[in-house]
Amino acid sequence: MKGKIVITTLTACLLIGGCSKLSTNSKTPSKFISSATKVSNSAKEKMSSSSSSTVASSISSKNSSVKEDTTDSRIQELNQRLSMAIGTTKKPTVDGLNENHNRLNMHYISNAYGYTVYYSVGATAKKFNASTLASETPYATFNKTAYVSTAAAVTAVNHHAKETGLPVIDLGSGVRGTIDRGAGQAYLTWQAGRWSVTVHASPVMGQDPVAMSKQLVALFNQYSLPIPSQVGAGNFDVTDNGLNQTITWQEGAILYKISARSAETAIKMASSMSR
């Protein structure tokens, strides 16, 4: 059995040394799908590599100069105001949208341990952190949480160590994942450098994780992700059910997490933080 991890920035108990991982939903297969990765000192890691020997090689986003560079004026403006409010820290520099960039809205909440930024598309563009934005449904969130130690931050990442004895699936581009099926659930996992990626599906609902996994591999061939100090994890779901497409990584005692309704949106926003 394995669990997905939700990093809740407002829950102080997570930040106490020795804190345990929280689970967003219970995974019920007989084995815990996982992936082990070797720590690499490469300057850039990509999520999907042509072979295990090139996992940690540097890649550039093929799309970085296509849409994002011509549609990011609104998020640049909002990020400037965010920096004025919480200081100059890492944050997504693209909105991850395919349209309606000019109606992007942003607000945030913070506490002693970090902050959460909410991204939404409104009927109109509103002022940064306007009180009325709380009623808009976010399409993505970005969390930064400071833990008491590196070990605590590592523990909070839902990273899966490699497991043998499971069926192997060819996902293309030299990527091979393992799949765990059981109790009406299926989890397909593969590894890339310090990252693990897992896609969940429910066969009893007629779902299969393979098709989405292949789509993700194609996206990871286009977009590079930040390099975790030790571990990172992408956890995705075939079902579009709220902000359940997540990318989480650790840098020292700091944990970053992007959650989105669209896996592509989450990947684009995370990728923008690698540049």
Bigger pLDDT: 31 or 188?
188
Query: pLDDT at position 52, please?
Result: 36
Mean pLDDT within 4-10: 33
- The sign one gets for the Cα dihedral 59, 65, 71, 77 is positive
Q: Is residue 231 within 8 Å of residue 250, measured between CB atoms?
A: yes
Q: How many CB atoms lie within 10 A of CB 166?
A: 20
Q: How far apart are CA 235 and CA 21, in angstroms?
A: 14
Q: Residue 47 to residues 125, 165, 189: CA-CA distances in angstroms?
A: 34, 23, 12
Query: pLDDT at position 162, please?
Result: 84
pLDDT bucket at 34, cuts 50 / 70 / 90:
very low
> Does 19 have pLDDT greater than 60?
no
Q: How far apart are CA 102 and CA 87, in angstroms?
A: 24
Could you report the per-residue pLDDT of 109-134, keeping only the tens digit for each?
999 999 999 999 999 999 999 999 99
Mean pLDDT within 3-9: 35
DSSP state of 65: I
Tell me the whole-structure pTM to 2 decimals: 0.74
Q: Is residue 18 within 8 Å of residue 38, measured between CB atoms?
A: no
Mean pLDDT within 170-194: 95
Q: How far apart are CA 50 and CA 232, in angstroms?
A: 19
pLDDT bucket at 224, cuts 50 / 70 / 90:
very high
Using only C-alpha atoms, the chain has a radius of gyration, in whole angstroms, of: 18
Distance of CA 149 to the CA centre of its chain: 21
Query: pLDDT at position 28, please?
Result: 37
Average pLDDT, the chain: 80
Query: pLDDT at position 35, please?
Result: 35
Q: How many CB atoms lie within 10 A of CB 7?
A: 25
Query: Which residues lie across from 245 on neighbouring strands?
Result: 260
Query: pLDDT at position 87, please?
Result: 87
Q: How far apart are CA 128 and CA 82, in angstroms?
A: 8
Least confident of 38-47, 130-139, 200-209: 38-47
pLDDT bucket at 241, cuts 50 / 70 / 90:
confident
> Does 47 have pLDDT greater than 50?
no
Query: pLDDT at position 131, please?
Result: 96
- The sign one gets for the Cα dihedral 215, 216, 217, 223 is positive
Bigger pLDDT: 11 or 273?
273
Q: How far apart are CA 116 and CA 131, in angstroms?
A: 15
Residue 235 host element (H or E): strand 232-237
Q: Which 3 state secondary structure label does DSSP give 3?
A: strand
Mean pLDDT within 66-90: 80
Q: How far apart are CA 197 and CA 177, in angstroms?
A: 9
Bigger pLDDT: 51 or 196?
196
Tally of CA atoms within 13 A in the half-sphere of 57 that contains its CB: 12
